[in-house]
Chains A and B, each alone.
Chain A
Amino acid sequence: MLTTYLFFGLALLAVLGALGLIIFKHPMNGAMSFVVTLISLAGLYALLSAKLIFAIQLIVYAGAIMSLIVFIIMFLNIQEKDLPLDPNRWFYVAGGIIVVGPIAGLLINISRTLPATEVTVFDDGFGSVKEVGQLLFTQWLLPFEIVSILLLVALVGAVVLAGKRGVN
């Protein structure tokens, strides 16, 4: 019962945070509301007893990536006067609702038609570091390595792109 309430609370927070990200004008407000979303998502993972994903969500997304983004926002020191005027903001929002509304309705409809099942809480072994690690390094070794190479390429690309500007 408690988990249901927790789920609704976290889901509401996640949606509100996402809304805030779009609606707030100041980038810092947007970033902070996105942090709220990320934390509530981590909470949702924890409810699914996916502990490793929960920790990684917090460490990587909420901890590292978002703090870098907030850091950059602080570094640029954006003032009210630097922000674009954007007089048609609400018009865009309304347009967005009109466009996205039917799709959302469709999605809600789909989720309604899903057959109702009992939720079973997995035991302690599920989603822990050991289980996920073993799966990653046996069954999913190739995709895992490919993703690592992709990240490495991205890293090298970033270094090359950043280095070029300095040479001139």
Chain B
Amino acid sequence: MSALDILLVILRIAFGAFVPLSFVAVLVWMERRGAAFFQDRAGPNRANVLGFRAGGLIQNAADGIKLAFKEDIVPGHVKHKFYFILAPMLVFITALLCFAVIPFADVLVLGDKHYIMQAVPMDIGILWFLAVVGFGVYGIILAGWSSHNKYGMLGGLRAAAQVISYEIPMGLALVSLLAVYGTVNLTEMAQFQGKLLFGFIPMWGVVLQPLGVIIFIVAAFAETNRTPFDLAEGESEIVAGFHVEYSAMKFALFFMGEYVAMFVSSALIVTLYFGSFQIPWLNTETLVANARPLVILIMIGLPVIGYFFGAWIKKNNRSHYYRENDPRKKETAVYISLLWSLVAVTEIVLLAYLVFAHGGVADRILVALLQIGTFLFKTFLMCFVYVWVRWTLPRFRYDQLQKIGWEKLLPLALLNIFITSAIIVSFG
């Protein structure tokens, strides 16, 4: 193993571990501000450090500090303390482990070496996801059971029954997808989606499997216990469900686990159905071949985006009431100067690339970075869909939930397998 190998291993594992974690902060922020905007409210916008509120992101830090310093209570009536403590860890770790097999860029070719851009280069891909997701249920069951509380028990039962029954349509939706892609390896699936259908439509899973994508997304919503399938928490009837007895960091682990799971399932939906890291019409080879014009395009595009973003900040980051020399105006000035310096630095780096380093390895790395950016952007959008759905739809009743799972999604998924395999056998 050369130094480069080790560096890339460290980079990949760091990416696999820290990106979901930092996305937790982004997602919590997106959930709260998004919820507020969907409901014509403002959301958390007061917490600040030296007057800088970063659009409400500082609120997350405040919440985190609060949770870390709260008293960590294990209620006296809890008999199986080991399981009580194990449960939140299981939920969190399984959610995090799922991300290990999701590729965030195409295979990186440096010289004659190939690096698979996954945290753990495993070729069973989607099977690993299914295996690990199954363990998340233990966390919920153990939490509900060891809490020794009626609400906790009911929440645990609901969550477990729901996750177990929605795993089936999810798995069946995957079967037809696997038949299309002909592989279980997620990197190969992503590469497959770089091709074009009839020469002009990107061959994304959503085009090839329109029914499968609906089934999979619905099942994924149910798997992550998000609205409209969040009966496990159902605060109106069972308070908070399986985490009703938890406090402080143990609760925080559940909370973060939920958001990591949301991020991972968004990443998976993107990988399976929305072209993963592929930029439509530009597959890896095209990107590498046309790196220079692309960079010039980006260099032109960045200031334009920066201009509009700055204008948006200026318009919205001010006090909406009379205030003697508004401190938020100063804050805005700092943000805008930060934005422009960021743009300037990026421009300089890209210029340096154009002048000194284009061609060969630099092109490959640039393309990999672009693909990581694309992947994260798509995942971010999918997470937004999660938030969007949560603040639009009411909760299903429990019998409706099971009915949809077993009576609608399951037959539909089976039908989808028949149709898909018939088409593959007759045309492919």
Which A residues contact B (CB, under 8 angstroms)? 26, 28, 32, 35, 51-52, 54-56, 58-59, 62-64, 67-68, 70-71, 73-75, 77, 80, 124, 128-129
Q: Give chain A residues whose Cβ lies under 8 Å from the Cβ of B124.
A: 51-52, 54-55, 128-129
List the 7 shortest-distance A-B pairs measured between CB atoms, nearest first.
Answer: A63-B134, A58-B131, A55-B127, A74-B145, A67-B137, A59-B131, A51-B124
Task: Pick from A51, A62, A128, A129: contact of B134, CB below 8 A.
Answer: A62
Chain A interface helix/strand/loop/mixed: helix
B161 in the interface, Cβ–Cβ < 8 Å? yes
Also in contact, A59 and B135, with CB within 8 A (given A70-B141, A74-B156): no
> In the complex, which residues of chain A have a beta carbon less than 8 angstroms from the beta carbon of B230?
none
Cα–Cα distance between A75 and B153 once the two chains are bound (Å) = 8
Give the residue of A35, A64, A73 whose beta carbon is less than 8 angstroms from that of B164.
A64
Q: Are A74 and B157 interface neighbours, CB within 8 A? A: yes
What would 19 A/B residue contacts be, using CB atoms closer than 8 Å?
A: A28-B145, A55-B124, A55-B128, A55-B131, A59-B127, A59-B130, A59-B131, A62-B134, A62-B135, A63-B134, A64-B134, A64-B164, A71-B141, A71-B160, A73-B145, A74-B145, A74-B153, A80-B79, A129-B127
Within 8 A of A (CB), among B218-244: none
Given contacts A55-B131, A58-B131, A75-B157, contact A67 B123 (CB under 8 A): no
Chain B residues with a Cβ under 8 A of chain A:
79-80, 83, 122-124, 127-128, 130-135, 137-138, 141-142, 144-145, 153, 156-157, 160-161, 164, 167, 184
A63 in contact with B130 (CB, 8 Å): yes
Expressed in whole angstroms, the Cα–Cα distance for A75 and B164 within the complex equals 14
A32 to B135, CA, bound (A): 12
For B79, give the chain A residue with the smallest CB separation. A80
Min CB distance B97 to A, Å, is: 11
Contacts of B157 in A (CB 8 A): 71, 74-75
Q: Are A63 and B131 in contact (CB under 8 A)?
A: yes
Q: Which chain A residues border B127 with CB–CB below 8 Å?
A: 52, 55-56, 59, 129
Contact B80 A28 (CB under 8 A): yes
